[in-house]
Structure 1
Amino acid sequence: MAKLALGSSVSIEALEQFWQTIVKGIEETKAIQDEMRQTITWDKGVFCKTFFMIRGLYRI
């Protein structure tokens, strides 16, 4: 185990860069999910209004 630790060729800078890439990916994924939730909610509202307008139950 000590030999493996001493022979490691991964630098701290590389690990930090790797970690920042992971964090950035997580943040971007959350932003995309939030945007999709808003889009789906908006689409549902438009669909419901259109559906009820066709049925004559909703007026603008």
Structure 2
Amino acid sequence: MHHLITEGLVDENNVPGQLRDNPKSKITRVGDGEHGGVYKPPQNGRDVATFVGSID
């Protein structure tokens, strides 16, 4: 799903189909005011994997 949604986007920190694993010094923020607001999602690969694994 991630690959389909992000394919073609230009962002050096986004690799379609791979989980994000940013260092603490690189803060990830997603969204904007017109689309539900801005938030800070999990950015550590282990945290992302836990989150994805909890979705039924």
TM-score relative to the length of structure 2: 0.17
Give the TM-score normalised by the residue count of structure 1. 0.17
Q: Which has the higher contact order (CA 8 A, sep 6+)?
A: 2
Bigger helix fraction: 1
Larger radius of gyration: 1
Looking at secondary structure, tell me which structure has more strand per residue.
2
